[in-house]
Chain A
Amino acid sequence: MNKKQKKLLIRIIIAAVFFVPLYLISEGIVAVKLPEPVLIALFLIPYLTVGWDILRKALLGIRNRRLFDECFLMTVATVGAIALGEYGEGVAVMLLYQVGELFQSYAVGRSRRSISDLMDIRPDYANLEGEDGAFERVDPDEVETGSVIVVQPGERVPIDGVVIEGSSALDTSALTGESKPRSVAVDDDVLSGCINLSGVLRVRTTAEFDESTASKILDLVENAASRKSKSENFISKFARVYTPVVCCTALALAVLPPLFCMLTGVGMAGYAGVGALWRDWVLRACTFLVISCPCAVVISVPLSFFAGLGGASSQGILVKGSNYLETLSQVGTVAFDKTGTITLGSFEVTAVHHSPMEEQRLLEYAALAECHSSHPISQSLRRAHGKELDISRVSDVQEISGHGVLAKVDGVDVAVGNEKLMNRVGVAFRHCHHAGTIIHMAVDGAYAGHIVISDELKATSREAMAALKRAGVERTVMLTGDAKSVAEQVAKEVGLTDFRAELLPQDKVACVEELMRGGGRKKLAFVGDGINDAPVLSRADIGIAMGALGSDAAIEAADVVLMDDDPLKIAKAIRISRKCLGIVKQNIAFALTVKALCLALSALGLANMWLAIAADVGVMILAVLNAIRCLFVRRL
């Protein structure tokens, strides 16, 4: 508890100690006769002890011409009750109201802290190595790119870099939610925010602190809460209307019914006189005012979202805003990129067929022709070739998107690509019955056989599709540039409901748009690895980038970032969002129902102030406790 909360707690205790005996006396339970003025004076002690700041705020509010704030409401209601002789009720309302405020501030503070603990990846210092080999502790902000830092066991890696000496195991759980340690050795990348578990590492930094993974993630998480969801906007609009409406209704309740009774004489029989009539209705209006405080609803909604975002990030799922959490919960279709999402994206050359020349020579041609491309397929060709490439042998490279590459190698025309490319250059080719990516080759205008490249499925892809289905996703669609046969096989193996094959990169956006039209009101999520699919990520209702640790483009373009590349996390993200939105809806419905019920009861004279304040504080406490449930998502 902070200072402010402690002070309030002490005031509440003192007031309660005074209040209880006084209340017993005033209700006649303890037989002590006190004259009326003395009783009032004594009741004012606990009232002022616990409520002076509320009264002060109410006065300030009036001076600043801001009537309908909750302090004003509480003041009017309690002063009204005391003026009408209901001393006990008046003081009790103020007391319980403050108990509620204390609880709210405590609970919110606690959950705020536990959420920031979950995301505690901020490094405090870096051990900068000087020229003489000794190191000094500095602020991570001061370390320049390319400096050498030392990370001792038990310390957090402060800045992204490459290991230049030592080997160790890293705990990446704060970043990815993955509990298995990752081992690193010389030349491996290390990311800031990981904890070094075993050995001493010397690391050459590759970024500045602000550009490092830890800073970016923290920035993302901290900014997430400021992108408000529709529910949050609804609630703040609601609160703006609710309080004034209730106040005006209270005023009407205090004045209109008694006037009506007096003028028509209807219902007057039930009252001892005009005074009793007015007293009854004014008291009802005061009760009405007590219920009008909107804070229970207003607090629980952002708290739920905040807890949901925090819980998700503890699982390595970064959601960039409450609004995306909301959209995620309405996902009915998930579209996938194939490579790197469903499959590992690590292509291997598995066979060379129908080649009139030696395999090695064919691979050399292929590798040389593709030497300027960073596409995974080109990389696998270079890996299969396995030797240094003399780039000067290559000229006139022409990449044709969705087809392949045309180039001159040692002055000879080489075409490397798919069937479309072969048709384009007018070379007859042989079909391959193997599944995988087929790279046809034409050398000097003649067909030179094809290279089969296969990509392995991720271990959890199948399970992930089943999990999505269980989470209520109706359609799972794979979008790929690959041949139909490959796509069909993968789709069948993994259990996708649909696929679109042979798409050019620019076709994917159109494809996603078509799927979005077909999905009705349900939203579409697109999952990609952030390479080459940034436009699709931003076009979809919600873009999910996976394995994005360290990829800036993906983090930039996506709305949800999965820190590791496990496709199971997609279903988990959806379940977290559903749970969170469920809790938000429960809270809104519950709070509004109880409020409406109490308002109705108090207008009918069936609810007294005790019930009103108990409903107000009780709803708030329950709503806050319910909201905190959003944090617990580990087992989801």
Chain B
Amino acid sequence: MKKSYKIEVDCANCANLMEETTRKTEGVKDCVVSFMTQKMKVEFDEGADVDAVMQKVLANCKKVEDDCEIYL
């Protein structure tokens, strides 16, 4: 399943870091972060609990980039 989220992130490199971290989060199959449109597309693993996974994603992203925000 794929979902798209609005995000807020200040620098392009930070967006790349967020993408990398999200990909490594359990339950996430793939992720593309577009710094320019401030959007994040997440593809989840089959049967993953989307809400729980996104909470984890948010926590992980906060770790790499304190300033970022994902509007769940």
Interface residues of A (CB under 8 A from B): 4, 56-57, 60, 64, 66, 69-70, 101, 104-105, 108, 112, 222-223, 225-228, 236, 239-240, 294-295, 298-299, 302-303, 306
Across the A-B interface, the 5 shortest Cβ-Cβ residue pairs: A306-B36, A299-B12, A226-B32, A236-B16, A225-B34
In the bound complex, how far is the Cα of B70 from the Cα of A27, in angstroms?
A: 47
B: contact size bracket: 20 to 34
Interface residues of B (CB under 8 A from A): 10-13, 16-17, 19-20, 32, 34-39, 41, 63-64, 66-67
Tell whether, in the assembled complex, residue B32 and residue A228 are in contact, meaning their CB atoms are under 8 Å apart.
yes
Cβ–Cβ < 8 Å partners of A101 in chain B:
10-11
Instruction: Give the distance to chain A from B34, nearest Cβ to Cβ, in Å.
Output: 4
In the bound complex, how far is the Cα of B14 from the Cα of A105, in angstroms?
A: 13
- B11 touches which of A56, A112, A222, A299 (Cβ 8 Å): A299
- A294 touches which of B13, B19, B67 (Cβ 8 Å): B13
Tell whether, in the assembled complex, residue B37 and residue A226 are in contact, meaning their CB atoms are under 8 Å apart.
yes
Instruction: Give the distance to chain B from A288, nearest Cβ to Cβ, in Å.
Output: 18
Cβ–Cβ < 8 Å partners of A303 in chain B:
12, 36
Tell whether, in the assembled complex, residue B13 and residue A298 are in contact, meaning their CB atoms are under 8 Å apart.
yes
Instruction: Given A57-B66, A64-B63, A66-B63, decide whether A226 and B39 contact each other with a Cβ distance below 8 A.
Output: yes
Tell whether, in the assembled complex, residue A295 and residue B35 are in contact, meaning their CB atoms are under 8 Å apart.
no
Cβ–Cβ < 8 Å partners of B19 in chain A:
236
Instruction: Given A60-B66, A64-B64, A66-B63, decide whether A225 and B37 contact each other with a Cβ distance below 8 A.
Output: yes
Cβ–Cβ < 8 Å partners of B13 in chain A:
70, 239, 294-295, 298-299
Cβ–Cβ < 8 Å partners of B11 in chain A:
70, 101, 104-105, 295, 298-299
Tell whether, in the assembled complex, residue A222 and residue B39 are in contact, meaning their CB atoms are under 8 Å apart.
yes
Cβ–Cβ < 8 Å partners of B35 in chain A:
108, 299, 302
Cβ–Cβ < 8 Å partners of A57 in chain B:
66-67
Tell whether, in the assembled complex, residue B41 and residue A226 are in contact, meaning their CB atoms are under 8 Å apart.
yes
Instruction: Give the distance to chain A from B71, nearest Cβ to Cβ, in Å.
Output: 15
Cβ–Cβ < 8 Å partners of B20 in chain A:
240
Instruction: Give the distance to chain B from A65, nearest Cβ to Cβ, in Å.
Output: 9
Tell whether, in the assembled complex, residue A302 and residue B66 are in contact, meaning their CB atoms are under 8 Å apart.
no
Cβ–Cβ < 8 Å partners of A302 in chain B:
12, 34-36
DSSP majority for the A interface? helix
Cβ–Cβ < 8 Å partners of A295 in chain B:
11-13
Cβ–Cβ < 8 Å partners of B12 in chain A:
295, 298-299, 302-303
In the bound complex, how far is the Cα of B32 from the Cα of A227, in angstroms?
A: 8
In the bound complex, how far is the Cα of B19 from the Cα of A240, in angstroms?
A: 12
Instruction: Give the distance to chain B from A583, nearest Cβ to Cβ, in Å.
Output: 15
Cβ–Cβ < 8 Å partners of A228 in chain B:
32
Instruction: Given A105-B10, A112-B36, A226-B37, decide whether A298 and B16 contact each other with a Cβ distance below 8 A.
Output: yes
Instruction: Give the distance to chain A from B36, nearest Cβ to Cβ, in Å.
Output: 4
Select the residue from B17, B32, B37, B64 with max chain A CB neighbours within 10 A: B37
Cβ–Cβ < 8 Å partners of A70 in chain B:
11, 13
- B36 touches which of A64, A105, A225 (Cβ 8 Å): A225
* Chain A, Cβ-Cβ closest to B35: A302
Supplied contacts A112-B37, A298-B12, A303-B36, 9 more A-B pairs, CB within 8 Å: A4-B10, A105-B10, A105-B11, A108-B35, A225-B34, A226-B34, A226-B39, A240-B16, A299-B13
* Chain B, Cβ-Cβ closest to A60: B66
Select the residue from A56, A240, A295, A298 with max chain B CB neighbours within 10 A: A298
Select the residue from B16, B20, B63, B64 with max chain A CB neighbours within 10 A: B16
Instruction: Give the distance to chain B from A417, nearest Cβ to Cβ, in Å.
Output: 46
* Chain B, Cβ-Cβ closest to A225: B34
In the bound complex, how far is the Cα of B17 from the Cα of A441, in angstroms?
A: 67
Cβ–Cβ < 8 Å partners of B32 in chain A:
226-228
* Chain A, Cβ-Cβ closest to B37: A225
Cβ–Cβ < 8 Å partners of B41 in chain A:
223, 226
* Chain B, Cβ-Cβ closest to A239: B13
Instruction: Give the distance to chain A from B63, nearest Cβ to Cβ, in Å.
Output: 4
Instruction: Give the distance to chain A from B28, nearest Cβ to Cβ, in Å.
Output: 15
* Chain A, Cβ-Cβ closest to B40: A226
* Chain A, Cβ-Cβ closest to B41: A226
In the bound complex, how far is the Cα of B10 from the Cα of A104, in angstroms?
A: 9
* Chain B, Cβ-Cβ closest to A222: B37
In the bound complex, how far is the Cα of B13 from the Cα of A104, in angstroms?
A: 12
Instruction: Give the distance to chain B from A434, nearest Cβ to Cβ, in Å.
Output: 54
Tell whether, in the assembled complex, residue A239 and residue B39 are in contact, meaning their CB atoms are under 8 Å apart.
no
In the bound complex, how far is the Cα of B66 from the Cα of A66, in angstroms?
A: 12
Instruction: Given A222-B37, A226-B34, A303-B36, decide whether A66 and B16 contact each other with a Cβ distance below 8 A.
Output: no
In the bound complex, how far is the Cα of B64 from the Cα of A4, in angstroms?
A: 20
Cβ–Cβ < 8 Å partners of A4 in chain B:
10
* Chain B, Cβ-Cβ closest to A65: B63
Tell whether, in the assembled complex, residue A239 and residue B16 are in contact, meaning their CB atoms are under 8 Å apart.
yes
* Chain B, Cβ-Cβ closest to A116: B37
Would you list 29 pairs from A and B whose C-beta atoms are within 8 A, ordered by A residue?
Answer: A4-B10, A66-B63, A66-B64, A69-B64, A70-B11, A104-B11, A105-B10, A108-B36, A112-B36, A225-B37, A225-B39, A226-B34, A226-B37, A227-B32, A236-B19, A239-B16, A240-B16, A240-B20, A294-B13, A295-B11, A298-B11, A298-B16, A299-B12, A299-B35, A302-B34, A302-B35, A303-B12, A303-B36, A306-B37
In the bound complex, how far is the Cα of B64 from the Cα of A112, in angstroms?
A: 24
Cβ–Cβ < 8 Å partners of B64 in chain A:
64, 66, 69
* Chain B, Cβ-Cβ closest to A111: B36
Cβ–Cβ < 8 Å partners of A112 in chain B:
36-38
Cβ–Cβ < 8 Å partners of A105 in chain B:
10-11
Cβ–Cβ < 8 Å partners of A294 in chain B:
13
Instruction: Give the distance to chain A from B70, nearest Cβ to Cβ, in Å.
Output: 15
In the bound complex, how far is the Cα of B34 from the Cα of A299, in angstroms?
A: 11
In the bound complex, how far is the Cα of B64 from the Cα of A458, in angstroms?
A: 56
